[in-house]
Amino acid sequence: MTHCILLSGPPNCGKDTLGRILRERLLAHGRSVLMEKMARPIHESACAVWGPGMNVNGPKEMDQYKDNAVAPGLTLRDWMIQFSESFMKPRCGLSIFGDLLLDRIDQSSGVYGMPDFVIVTDAGFAEECAILYDSLPTKLFHIHRNGASFEGDSRSYPQWEDSYEFTYRVDNWEGFPQSTVDRQILQNISEWLRYGGPI
């Protein structure tokens, strides 16, 4: 059965770094892992519309161009937020990006088989996380780091009814992401899956 690991936190708190280290640890223990982002459809759409003019090679590069102007008074970041919040969610529902992620997990199972773990490194909205929780065994990790905040961001730490039962705080110590993964995240996952030891 696939288990979903959601990493949530403000910009620059280390979610992607922790996600990569966690993936390496799980792979080293023989587990199959799918890395994902809720915002993948937003990046893919932005790449399709604006990427050619920026000489971008793919959706994963879009983040480095977020502050670029794509129209008068409109940055790429503004465009992506409007695409998500003013177009997709009002028309398709607040959980749309969680729904699309579940579709991608199902599609990947047809090619590679169901992964043991899906690691999502940009969980930021309760409705998207709740749809995953309703469909898969899920753990939500709130990543905290000194100096990192949600100020000016549309996201926050997702919370909803009963989410406290599977939500855990992780303090990402400056300069020690491997230790953060090993001592806080992996230990928690091991207890969750009742392995009684290293995964």
Please indicate, yes or no, whether residues 115 and 172 belong to a single structural domain of this protein.
yes
177 falls within a domain = yes
Task: Single out the residue of 64, 38, 37 nearest to residue 50, CA to CA.
Answer: 64
pLDDT above 90 covers a percentage of the chain that reads 62
Please indicate, yes or no, whether residues 161 and 173 belong to a single structural domain of this protein.
yes
Residue 75 carries which side chain, given as an amino acid letter? T
Are 189 and 5 within 8 A, CB to CB?
yes
198 falls within a domain = no
Instruction: Of 18-22, 52-56, 148-152, 170-174, give the lowest mean pLDDT range.
Output: 52-56
Is it the case that residue 37 has pLDDT exceeding 70?
Answer: yes
73 falls within a domain = yes
Reported confidence tier of residue 159, pLDDT bands at 50, 70, 90: confident
Please indicate, yes or no, whether residues 112 and 15 belong to a single structural domain of this protein.
yes
Provide the domain limits for residue 70.
40-92
Reported confidence tier of residue 153, pLDDT bands at 50, 70, 90: confident
Please indicate, yes or no, whether residues 118 and 139 belong to a single structural domain of this protein.
yes
Please indicate, yes or no, whether residues 84 and 99 belong to a single structural domain of this protein.
no
Please indicate, yes or no, whether residues 17 and 86 belong to a single structural domain of this protein.
no
Is it the case that residue 144 has pLDDT exceeding 70?
Answer: yes
Which residues pair with residue 171 across a beta bridge? 144
Reported confidence tier of residue 98, pLDDT bands at 50, 70, 90: very high
- In sequence order, what are the residues at sequence separation of 6 or more whose Cβ sits closer than 8 angstroms to the Cβ of residue 63? 43
Give the separation between CA 99 and CA 125, rounded to whole angstroms: 13
Task: Single out the residue of 128, 184, 119, 192 nearest to residue 158, CA to CA.
Answer: 128
Please indicate, yes or no, whether residues 56 and 153 belong to a single structural domain of this protein.
no
Please indicate, yes or no, whether residues 32 and 121 belong to a single structural domain of this protein.
yes
How confident is the model at residue 126, as a pLDDT?
93
Give the separation between CA 66 and CA 120, rounded to whole angstroms: 20
Query: What CATH number is attached to the domain comprising 7?
Result: 3.40.50.300
